[in-house]
Structure 1
Amino acid sequence: MKKTFFFYLLVSISLTTSLHAQQTQKAQNPIIFADVPDISIIRVGKNYYMSSTTMHMSPGVPIMKSTDLVNWKLIGYCYDTLNKVGVDAMNLDNGKSTYGRGSWASSIRYNKGTYYVSTFAQTTGKTYIYTTKDIEKGPWKAIEFKPMMHDHSLVFDDDGKIYMLYGGGKLRLVELKEDLSGVKEGTDHVVIENATLPTTPEGSRGGLPAEGSQVFKVNGKFYLFNISWPPGGQRSVIIHRADKIGGPWQGKIGLQDKGVAQGGLIDTPDGRWFAYLFRDNGAVGRIPYLVPVKWVDGWPVIGDENGKVPMTLDLPASKGLIPGIVASDEFTRKKNDAALPLVWQWNHNPVNELWSVTARKGYLRLTTGRIDTTFLQARNTLTQRTIGPVSSGTTSIDVSNMKDGDFAGITLLQRNYGIVGVKIEGYKKTFVMINASNNNPVVAATVPLNQNVVHLKVACDFTNKKDVADFFYSLDGKTWIPIGTQLKMAYTIPHFMGYRYGLFNYATKETGGYADFDYFRIDNK
């Protein structure tokens, strides 16, 4: 009897372990636990390519590649700087900034051997189209024109005509010139008077109108995806269908679950369909989800058998976001290496003559070039995404060549930022922790410092939107000492971006000092 019991016990344990292994070998939602919003995806052969929004960051409009829809790697950007000269807001000049603006939702398309990525910018009031024959190596050719077409979708029709469908609530359609240099005169007209109607009755007050348009042509019909936020409800997917791009369009609700919305359709080489969408997830930002799609009576039906967003997907498991989306950097460079890996973006346009990875081998040098009174106006802060559910960023700095008034360290960048760094005051060096919770920067701690090489760390917890961060310093890189107060992170609309790790150095009294960063290491434990 005992033998039989233990036999069945072993079988049960074996089956449970096997089932768990099968589950862990499948993809989990969210597919990317990091700020990758406004995604647009295409498939060319067996490869998927995705563009996203990074707004005020430089370089901008990131391009990512995957072969399984789950594991993504940054492969490039459409531009280095949105506008190289003449725009104070992009350069953090004269007290101006473009936080939360810059370039917004993009549309990626492939047509007759050419890749197209279009976007628009509130900062400049322009629409941009970037083209290349080689999406993985470039170069990208830029075309820009006015007006700015908000949340547009680029459409290549079968008859060779090229359109953009854009707007919010009231959606409009324009035909573009053959060379994409602008809008054909007299073609701008309304195609859907109120695209929000499927979720929000006429005359309702509050909520957000349908926006984030993405258009697809499947089996001869056009499908338009939008996001809306009905008053008292949750973010929702709206789908419209038409036989012609100009309509008439018929609309219905596509998905209402967990606030997962805004995106579009993608198919796999074996004929399966998914909706790619994102979810607002607190301080880490807007994070991508995949949801299975089946076709019923010519409509894409989003969700599992219950019409919900599943947490497990019949796709390969994620191998993690490191190093494809974020990565550590020892700042060592071989002869043909890029100066900065693609995971890095500058806060606004950089001043290239004031940073270097060659001035001192194995270090990132940030040199001050002007006087700044506030951290958020300081130039040349080098950033990359935070990731969830937990992660930490660590750096080491040689502060021996900083000048009086200089402040260098590591930050969690958002409007309500947190900082741990080294401040030089006369001949004195001090560890300083600043906590800007509630948009009110407060010096939460100062600790005297008597050496030139220091180690700094920030640790984030985004689990279940806990959204807190703790700050540490070390004199030897081994023993970590907490400093200051816990940062309560908050996703704020003025920045419109998830928290980012950042390395910075700015001057408050005199210019020309520099800080040498030995490494940046990111960990998801």
Structure 2
Amino acid sequence: MKQSIIRFTALLTLLAAFKLQAQPKATNPVIFADVPDMSMIRVGNNYYMSSTTMHMNPGVPIMKSTDLVNWKLIGYAYDTLADMDELNLANNKSTYGRGSWASSIRFHKGTYYISTFAQTTGKTYIFSTKNIEKGPWKRISFSPSMHDHSLFFDDDGRVYMLGGAGKLSLVELKDDLTGVKPGTEKVVIENATAPSMPEGRRGGLPAEGSQLFKVNGKYYLFNISWPPGGMRTVLIHRADNIHGPYEGRVALQDLGVAQGGLIDMPDGTWYSYLFRDYGAVGRIPYLVPVKWVDGWPVLGVNGKVPEQLELPAMKGLIPGIVHSDAFTRKKGDAALPLVWQWNHNPDNSLWSVKARPGYLRLTTGRVDTSFLQARNSLTQRTIGPVCSGSTAIDVSKMKDGDFAGLGLLQKNFGQVGVKMEGNQKYIVMVNAGGTGIPVEQERIPLEQHTVYFKADCDFTDRKDVASFYYSLDGKKWTAIGQPLKMAYTIPQFIGYRFTLFNYATKTPGGSVDFDYFNITDKL
């Protein structure tokens, strides 16, 4: 009897160990979507991350996780950055590729801080709140625009920003954070790119993307560089004093995974959060394990980015980073869920989810010349490796010259929608792939008020191809036009976005009603 109990106990132990080993684990990338320039903190058992969405509004998205893998949008640092032509898509101006860039998130004495900067306005911004999930956020702005800076609260109560490109400078901020203390600017690293630069070579991209940390009394500065003939590279500089001197080394060169910083877990485990340029879907986050050796953080497994991580598996990006929306709202609900962002500043008088309950109404308020200049285009991320977005539109209140439908937004965009010419409506597909010049590839007369559209995206192994479809009943789908060859371009500097749009080319005042937007991670 005793031997049977021993054998049974051993069997249970073996089964428990097998079950533990069989548990699914996280894989890289941890987020297969455009979440670049991450900055991250841990407060207790919660992790918070800010990121870049540039010309999208609201801006500086904030995400939360309890395991470093499964993230959910919880807010934004601001609704609008400023009221100006470039941000309003007015007078043929835009801020594509600019807006707000790399942010820095910090927690200090019970207050959360997020700082960022904008070429568009020439200013640096600091947002603060006691409640990161509910706000409100206090806003401070000052000149100049501090490029790729890291906000840093030191142990002696002083507050700094460190940043730049190639030549990195440190400034001390005023006690109330309203600006730079005069006379405190100092170059702390004359050539931060040097550790990654091949001997005798010139060119490449200089070290930038500064993120500064203090661990066990030493200062660690993370940067990204792109040496000529090489790949994006993680650099780390270390110092005993925030003013230097700093010694630097290459910390990681693999897959082009770079730019980020350090995060620790409650159990003492360390990771580096970084991102990888992955074609048209955008810049996607990776986690790399960190070990400490001789006072240096050593990134990766034998210098490589692992595919699998000793972390819980990702449950999916839907919901959390993207989400379907039926546009039905209960009392107390936000008008738009956090997954939605407008392309540039919206005109809030020209959109509504109340005018017709259960629908998003977009009304034209001016004449626009193109998709890229159209105001009140509502977007959310595409996701990889594949995804599909679909919608249904009531087009009964369009005016002559109006164009409304579903788009994939980037410089080389694609659209499927309804154009009204005189009293006749047409289903059309516009393709700006390859050259960035929009070409209407197909049109079909439309004789009904409701029409359905779908766009399928395939980012597998950077295939970067999208196909567009229409339906008259929401069941049978017909391909239209040619596949869109998607491309990540510098003028926009952002991954492709599903976009609901309506703009006038002749007479303002027309409107369309979107019944829903559905997104799936399957084709």
| TM superposition score category, shorter chain reference | over 0.9
Q: Does the alignment pair 1:52 with 2:48?
A: no
Map 1:241-256 onto structure 2 (within 5 A): 241-256=238-253
- Give every structure 1 segment of 4 or more consecutive aligned residues whose post-TM-superposition deviation is greater than 4 Å: 21-24
Q: Give the distance between the partners of 1:266 and 1:246, measured in 2 at CA.
A: 23
Q: Give the distance between the partners of 2:199 and 2:129, measured in 1 at CA.
A: 43
Q: Does the alignment pair 1:81 with 2:80?
A: yes
User: SS of the counterpart of 2:461?
Assistant: helix
Aligned equivalent of 1:260: 257
One-letter code aligned to 1:389: P
Q: Give the distance between the partners of 1:100 and 1:450, measured in 2 at CA.
A: 40
Q: Does the alignment pair 1:66 with 2:72?
A: no
Deviation per residue, 1:331-386 (Å, 9 max, x gap): 00000000000000000000000000000010000000000111100000000000
Map 1:457-472 onto structure 2 (within 5 A): 457-472=454-469
Q: Give the distance between the partners of 2:109 and 2:350, measured in 1 at CA.
A: 42
Map 1:168-317 onto structure 2 (within 5 A): 168-201=165-198, 204-304=201-301, 306-317=302-313
User: SS of the counterpart of 1:484?
Assistant: strand
Shift of 1:24: 6.3
Aligned equivalent of 2:357: 361
Aligned equivalent of 2:491: 494
User: SS of the counterpart of 1:314?
Assistant: strand
On the 8 A contact 2:198/2:227 being kept in 1, the answer is no
User: SS of the counterpart of 1:501?
Assistant: strand
Q: Among 149, 154, 158, which residue is 2:151 paired with?
A: 154
Question: Using a 3 Å threshold, how does the CA distance of structure 1 residues 24 and 423 change in structure 2: closer, same or farther?
Answer: farther
Q: Does the alignment pair 1:99 with 2:96?
A: yes
On the 8 A contact 1:240/1:252 being kept in 2, the answer is yes
Which stretch shifts more, 197-206 or 478-487? 197-206
Structure 1: which 5+ residue stretches go unaligned?
A: 1-13
Question: Using a 3 Å threshold, how does the CA distance of structure 1 residues 463 and 22 change in structure 2: closer, same or farther?
Answer: farther
On the 8 A contact 1:92/1:378 being kept in 2, the answer is yes
User: SS of the counterpart of 1:439?
Assistant: coil
On the 8 A contact 2:466/2:483 being kept in 1, the answer is yes
Aligned equivalent of 1:440: 437
On the 8 A contact 1:23/1:312 being kept in 2, the answer is no
One-letter code aligned to 1:33: F
When normalised by structure 2's length, the TM-score is 0.96
Shift of 1:206: 1.7
Q: Give the distance between the partners of 2:203 and 2:180, measured in 1 at CA.
A: 33
Shift of 1:204: 2.8
Q: Give the distance between the partners of 1:510 and 1:135, measured in 2 at CA.
A: 43
Aligned equivalent of 2:419: 423
Aligned equivalent of 1:403: 399
Q: Does the alignment pair 1:321 with 2:311?
A: no
Question: Using a 3 Å threshold, how does the CA distance of structure 1 residues 103 and 203 change in structure 2: closer, same or farther?
Answer: farther
Q: Does the alignment pair 1:28 with 2:24?
A: no
Q: Give the distance between the partners of 1:411 and 1:323, measured in 2 at CA.
A: 21
Q: Give the distance between the partners of 1:75 and 1:25, measured in 2 at CA.
A: 26
Shift of 1:503: 0.1
Question: Using a 3 Å threshold, how does the CA distance of structure 1 residues 396 and 467 change in structure 2: closer, same or farther?
Answer: same
Q: Among 390, 393, 397, which residue is 2:389 paired with?
A: 393
Shift of 1:124: 0.3
Aligned equivalent of 1:37: 36
On the 8 A contact 1:29/1:311 being kept in 2, the answer is yes
Shift of 1:414: 0.1
Shift of 1:189: 1.3
One-letter code aligned to 1:130: F
Q: Give the distance between the partners of 2:33 and 2:289, measured in 1 at CA.
A: 21
Deviation per residue, 1:261-320 (Å, 9 max, x gap): 00000000000000000000000000000000000000000001x210001000000000
One-letter code aligned to 1:381: S
One-letter code aligned to 2:177: L
On the 8 A contact 2:163/2:170 being kept in 1, the answer is yes
